[in-house]
Structure 1
Amino acid sequence: MAAISEKMELTFSLRRKEMVQEQPMIVEVQERWPALFFQEQICEEFFRITKKDLLGVFMAATDKYTPKLLKLYRARKGAFGHEMEELLERSDERTTEIVNHRRTAALEGLPLFLREKQTNLFKKFKETEDGTKGVSVGIHYVTEVDSRAASPVIQNIAVVLEEVVVLEDIPDTSSAVAYLFGLLYALNFSYPKELRYTFDTIQNVFMELGTGCTQRVLSLKNKMLN
């Protein structure tokens, strides 16, 4: 991996120029720069661009904001329909890995709270299904084929960009969101319009990048800081 890191460091300026000026398709980037889709290299590329520790900063921010977000969700869950209520109920039912499940609930509830569709980002599919068609940006939970449980066992968590699975076997939702955000930065990938507030929050609040955020996100930020 050290040799890969050295080569990626040497070719960074060339690769960055390609991403910004040519904006290649994901399949082209995979062919030309396959190492860019390794978990370690996503983090290193993000650091080259921002000088920030992708996983370290994101996880610390998630731990900081999770209790505040869940409190906000509970206070106004009736305003967001059954999806928010079900999300919170599932989180409350967990008796193991409670911290991880609370982080997941906070992140999955973020699009809902920002008046965006949760399923535009987080999607569930059975192992036998191909859920990549039409997906520009997504985090996919791959579940057991024969599970009839209300909360089916997740076999795999994957990141999808431009209908291509670019990363899989991710240990948890928090890591998946971090890697997805890191890839969007590394690939100079525009945020999808239907998730602009969600990614605006991740960029400006969680990662503290950028010079300003939308009024909707600023309002959420103020609520979380109070």
Structure 2
Amino acid sequence: MFQVYCEFNRVVGQGLRENFFDALDRFSPSLMDLFRKKRGLTGQILTDLLHKTKVNEPTHIRCLILRGLPVILGDDPSAFFRNCSDVNDNGLYSQTAVGILCMDEENSTPLNPSKVGIILEGSVVMDNLANLPQAFCLLFGLIYALHLDYPKYMKNTFNFVQQLPAALLGFKRASPRHGISHGNPEISCCRHGNHDAAVRSGAMRMADSRSSRTRSRNRGIKGHGGKA
């Protein structure tokens, strides 16, 4: 664990754990507000997550944000968060390239499982981690340290999470595979102190982009059918 933090610091020039959680906590209220405003199926899923969240428990709020972001950004959290009751039952995650293993036990909840591990290339490389946010933070560091690609089924979420500490602290360096665009409007907004507006803008822009692509595909399908 310590080695992951050290390598991230070497690559990026910033501390991982402190900056990751500071940024996550700083922007959680704005993201929770955005979750509450969503409608349709996405809104139903987010409402269910909100109902499971203990708002006076910081770890629960962090879990909510990390669970809710892939929903609102159009990723596939079911391919990333893999549930099992026994870490040795690798048939449930052997095909998972990058993910978090949530080990269910009595009194655990899907939002904040009692035991958590990290999956890389179908194997658990870390287990018995304290909680889901810690696992996500360490996985983020491993991706940088090992120069891995973000998994396609969670690419939007990782790209967005990457911008949170960058927006708050102005990260200057990034992994060669995941360069941060300092010219985007969210980063510019944050440089002028409008952090909450930047996060809301970034999440809404990515969610709207996903909706636009879906509408375009639907129009294409209808048009093709009409010609036939």
Q: 1:202 aligns with which of 161, 164, 176?
A: 161
Which residue of 102, 113, 116 corresponds with 1:157?
Answer: 116
| One-letter amino acid of the counterpart of residue 135, structure 1 | T
Which residue pairs with 2:217 in the alignment?
none
| Structure 2 residue 28 is the aligned partner of structure 1 residue 62 | no
TM-score normalized by the length of structure 1: 0.70
Alignment of 1:90 with 2:49, yes or no, is no
Deviation, 1:135, is: 0.3
Partner of 1:132: 93
Distance 1:102 1:116 in 2: 20
CA contact (8 A) 2:113 2:131 kept: no
Indicate conservation of the 8 Å contact 2:36/2:43, yes or no.
Answer: no
RMSD: 3.1
Offset at 1:100? 1.2
The answer to whether the aligner puts 1:222 opposite 2:184 as a matched pair is no
**1:74-119 CA deviation, whole Å, 9 max, x = no partner?**
111435054322211111xx37x61210111011101001011221
How far the C-alpha of 1:223 sits from its partner, in A, is 4.7
Matching of residues 30-109 of structure 1 within 5 Å: 39-80=1-42, 82-91=44-53, 94=54, 98-109=57-68
Please give the alpha-carbon distance, in whole angstroms, between the structure 2 residues aligned to 1:169 and 1:221: 36
Q: Distance in 1 between matches of 2:148 and 2:118?
A: 14
Identical-pair percentage? 26
The runs of 5 or more residues in structure 2 that have no matched partner are 188-195, 203-228
User: CA–CA distance in 1 between the matches of 2:198 and 2:112?
Assistant: 36
CA distance in 2, matches of 1:153, 1:67: 19
Q: 1:104 to 1:214 in 2, by over 3 A?
A: farther
SS at match of 1:169: strand
Q: CA 1:152 to 1:71, structure 2 compared with 1: closer, same or farther past 3 Å?
A: closer
SS at match of 1:111: helix
* Residues 76-85 or 54-63, more deviating: 76-85
State whether structure 2 residue 142 is matched by structure 1 residue 183: yes
Whole-Å separation in 1 of the counterparts to 2:2 and 2:164: 23
Closer/same/farther in 2, CA of residues 75 and 136 from structure 1, 3 Å limit: same
SS at match of 1:72: helix
| SS of structure 2 residue aligned to 1:110 | helix
Count of residues paired in the alignment: 183
SS of residue in 1 equivalent to 2:128: coil
Report the Cα distance in structure 1 between the residues aligned to 2:127 and 2:64, rounded to whole angstroms: 20
Displacement of 1:222 after TM fit? 3.0
- 1:148 Cα deviation (Å)? 8.9
- Structure 1 residues without counterparts, runs of 5 or longer: 1-38
> Corresponding residue for 1:212?
181
Write the letter of the residue equivalent to 1:125.
Answer: C
